[in-house]
Amino acid sequence: MRKETYKGNDRLLFGSVLAILTFWLFAQTTLNVMPSMRSDLGIEESWSNMAISITALFSGLFIVVLGGLGDKIGRVKMTLSGIILSAAGSLLIALTPPGTTVFLMAGRIIQGLSAACIMPSTLALVKNYYEGAARQRALSYISMGSWGGSGLCALFGGFVASTFGWRYIFLASVLVSIVSFALIYGTPESRVEKKNPAPFDWYGLATFMISTVALNIVIGQGAKMGWGHPVIIALILTTFVGSILFFKAEMGNPEAFIDFRLFRNKTYAGATLSNFLLNGSAGTIMVTLSLLQLGAGISPFSAGLVTLGYLAAVLGTIRVGEKLLRHWGARRPMILGCLITSGGMILLSTSFLYTWQYMIAAFIGFTLFGIGLGFYATPSADAALSNVPSDQAGSAAGLYKMASSLGAAFGVAVSASIFTALSGMDLSAFAGFFLGRTDNVSIRLAAMAALLFNFLMIMATISSIVNTIPKKEMEEENEDLASAEC
């Protein structure tokens, strides 16, 4: 079949969802099973926290680069390359020997690179091979793979870790990668033909990467090393100087690796910003499950059960969000979703309750969290992708997913830093505000503070949507203008 007439089918869609699951279901299980991995491998908490966030960090760092590269060499080829990297990274983690972090960190970085290959390329394939209602349906299933995978990862990872051992999680990921590769292989290639492609902006990538990695290390290691430590001060200066050099060079560069021209479209800019902010609440699962395991002594699987409502809610409401998009446009379901999510976050912050009471509150809270994300997911993705020209689909999708990954990396790193720092302090003076056991008050108060940070990220998300995403009538006019530019 010629690629000019090719229409996306369920084989491509199912293969794409499985490819996305290799990250959101398998790679993200570390949010729940890292306490078991840390104990088994004998590594420090600061390193395990970095291992959790570094995958999303490297995904965010390279997602625009590899999304743009997919536009040039082929989105199918880039997706298949990402699947191979996913299998390699998972295998490295599964083979990590005790007492070392080399295999673990290398595997987590490779998993981040695999996600950077897969996520923008699959979104670009949806943009180019599906139209109208079929595209919205495909986006819904892609969202199910990401948000649903993030919902199932805690329960799935907890079950496998408690039953077989955490290494089997990553061995299973290799098998899923093989199936995904087989389904996508043979799909007609999709690329942007350019006669004289510009040289890649390596300077922009280098300055962005140096400043971002330095910031992540500061967040993850600052409390442990001390904020006045010469290394931390040097990294803060590196972040500051690197950021200045990056923006100074990129803002006037028409070939910048981050195409700032895309942000001239207010709807695209708003959807991308809100995606960053909402994903900043990604530390919620890690903090809540660490609270239950470290504070109440609950097994990874039992702790993962409280997220079951999140999984069911996300999978059950993503298609609802799609229908709301058709009736209301993107703005209203995005705001409604965030409001519902914020209600769930308040319930998740009630660590002052008895354990059994908190588990009920957490189950309801995660359910609301899932409903809100389900309402938000498809309208947000559609608002971003429907407002850019087709020849910029890969770059636009890369930036959108970059916002997602960097938001998650930032949120997890800050949440872990708050939780780790406060849980190591003597906070017994606050014991009178907590029901039940008080020997774990530091852990419970640390979790509350970290979860309230995630609540603030959701409030910022709502503000960004209100100020950038237009109402339905204006949205349709913007989409018509974007179509005219194609």
Owning domain of residue 218: 201-256
Lookup: tokens for 14: 């199912």
Least confident segment among 33-47, 69-83, 84-98, 325-339? 33-47
Look at residues 455, 412, 471, 395 and name the one whose alpha carbon lies nearest to residue 56.
412
Tally Cβ neighbours within 10 Å of residue 69.
22
**Between 63 and 280, the higher pLDDT residue:** 280
pLDDT in tens, 50-76: 888 888 888 887 887 787 788 888 899
Q: Are residues 300 and 240 in the same domain?
A: no
Judge whether 191 lies within some domain.
no
Q: What is the pTM of this model?
A: 0.76
Same-domain pairing of 240 and 291: no
pLDDT bracket for residue 238 (50, 70, 90): very high
Amino acid found at 484: A
What is Dmax (Cα atoms) for the chain? 71
**150's tokens:** 């993030």
The pLDDT value given to residue 3: 44
The predicted model gives 43-53 an average pLDDT of 81
CA gap 216, 409 in Å, rounded: 8
Q: DSSP code of 261?
A: G
Q: Do residues 374 and 314 touch, judged by C-beta distance below 8 A? A: yes
Single out the residue of 444, 414, 32 nearest to residue 223, CA to CA. 414
194 inside domain: no
Tell me if 353 is assigned to some domain. yes
Both 245 and 97 in one domain: the answer is no
Which of these, 375, 389, 385, 388, lies nearest to 327 by C-alpha position?
375
Q: Domain check: are 124 and 214 in the same one?
A: no
* Residue 220 falls inside a structural domain: yes
CB 203 within 8 A of CB 253: no
- Report d(CA 240, CA 452) in Å as an integer: 27
The answer to whether residues 28 and 14 touch, using CB atoms and an 8 Å cutoff, is: no
- The neighbour count for residue 1, using CB atoms within 10 Å, is 8
The per-residue DSSP string of 263-278 comes to GGSHHHHHHHHHHHHH
CB 272 within 8 A of CB 384: yes
Indicate the burial class of 209 (C-beta count within 10 angstroms; 0-12, 13-18, 19 or more): middle
Please classify residue 310 by burial: count the beta carbons closer than 10 Å to its beta carbon, then call 0-12 exposed, 13-18 middle and 19+ buried: buried
- Is residue 3 in some structural domain? no
**CATH number where 399 lies:** 1.20.1250.20
**CA 347/CA 270 separation, integer angstroms:** 28
Q: Does 434 share its domain with 446?
A: yes
d(C-alpha 421, C-alpha 44), whole Å: 14
Question: Mean of the pLDDT values across residues 336-346?
Answer: 95
Question: Is residue 108 within 8 Å of residue 37, measured between CB atoms?
Answer: no
Give the separation between CA 230 and CA 252, rounded to whole angstroms: 34
465 and 331 inside one domain: yes
Kindly state whether residues 218 and 278 are assigned to the same domain.
no
Closest CA to 66 of 406, 403, 402, 407: 402
Are 176 and 251 within one domain?
no
Cα separations (Å) of 85 from 69, 110, 167, 177? 16, 6, 18, 9
| Each residue's pLDDT tens digit, 188-206 | 888 876 666 667 777 888 8
Cβ pair 397, 385 in contact under 8 A: yes
pLDDT level of residue 180 (50, 70, 90 thresholds): very high
Residue whose C-alpha is closest to residue 246's, from 277, 215, 280, 278:
215
Same structural domain, 242 and 113:
no
Per-residue pLDDT averaged across 162-183, rounded? Answer: 93
pLDDT tens figures, 75-85:
999 999 999 99
Q: With beta carbons less than 8 A apart as the criterion, state whether 389 and 25 touch.
A: no
Mean pLDDT score, 306-326: 86
User: Which residue from 322, 325, 279 is spatially nearest to 150, judged by alpha carbons?
Assistant: 279
Print burial letters for 448-476: b (CB count within 10 Å at least 16), e (below 16). bbbbebbbebbebbbebbeebbbeeeebe
Same domain, 435 and 307: yes
Question: Are 140 and 265 contained in the same domain?
Answer: yes
- CA 266 to CA 285: how far, in whole Å? 31
Domain count of the chain? 2
Are 21 and 176 within 8 A, CB to CB? yes
Residues 80 and 210 in one domain: no
CA 5 to chain centre: 33
Asked whether the predicted pLDDT for residue 152 surpasses 90, the reply is: no
Q: Which of 22-31, 178-187, 440-449, 456-465 has the lowest mean pLDDT?
A: 22-31
Quick one: tokens of 432?
Answer: 């009178």
- 5 inside domain: no
